[in-house]
Structure formats: C-alpha cells, structure tokens
C-alpha cells in the first residue's frame, strides 16, 4: 500500500497541472450536477462505464468543497467512490491508472 501511495503521489505531482487541463476537457461530456447525480451516474454506467469517466465525475464532485471539513460531502464522496469501485470490475481494470487513482482516493477518504 505504501508503494502504491508513493506512486500515486509521484503521479499527482507530475500531472498536477496537466490534470487540471485534461479534467476540464474530458469532463465537458459529463455533467457534474451536485444535487442528486443519479442521472450522471446512470449515464456513466449505461455508456462506457470506464474508470476515466468515473474519475472525472468524482473529481468534479470533490471540487465542490473540502471533504475533511464537510462531513456531508465526505459521506457523499465515500458513497460515490464505493459505487464506482462496485461498478468497475477489478479483473478488467486492474492495469488502468484511473482505476488505481479511484481505489487510492477511496482508501484516503475512508481513512
């Protein structure tokens, strides 16, 4: 786990600026409505159901506040990350970087 966390931190630092740009570009196809989000989740699951779309959606939700300071947001994020992990089969996505980022962030939120 420590090795994965170090790798994720390295990737975060390496792609921090690029992530902001690519998230904005990639997320234009997915609406991150913060009220219910069931429509967005259904859209992700009905279309490609891939880690990139889930990660984009989850990152947009995280931008709505500071989970460490907002228990309601933290609980909502934990629920959505759990939903993403359940919807994405590990056998299919185990080599996907976005899937790994989802798993690591999910573990961070739950800790």
Distance CA 85, CA 6 (A): 21
Tell me what pLDDT residue 75 has: 92
Specify the pLDDT at position 67. Answer: 86
pLDDT tens across 64-90, in order?
A: 888 888 899 999 999 999 998 998 988
Average pLDDT (6-33) is 55
Overall number of domains in the chain: 1
Domain with 76, as residue range(s), is 29-110
Is 15 part of a structural domain of the chain? no
pLDDT of residue 15: 58
Residue 93, domain member (yes or no): yes
- Tell me: the pLDDT tens digits for 48-63? 788 888 898 889 888 8
């Amino acid at each position: 786990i420590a090795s994965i966390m170090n790798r994720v931190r390295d990737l975060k630092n390496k792609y921090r600026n690029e992530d902001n740009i690519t998230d904005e570009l990639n997320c234009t196809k997915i609406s991150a409505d913060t009220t219910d989000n069931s429509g967005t989740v259904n859209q992700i699951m009905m279309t490609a159901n891939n880690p990139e779309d889930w990660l984009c959606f989850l990152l947009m939700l995280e931008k709505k506040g500071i989970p460490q300071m907002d228990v309601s947001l933290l609980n909502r994020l934990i629920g959505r990350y759990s939903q993403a992990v359940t919807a994405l089969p590990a056998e299919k996505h185990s080599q996907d970087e976005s899937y790994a980022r989802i798993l690591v962030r999910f573990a961070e939120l739950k800790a």
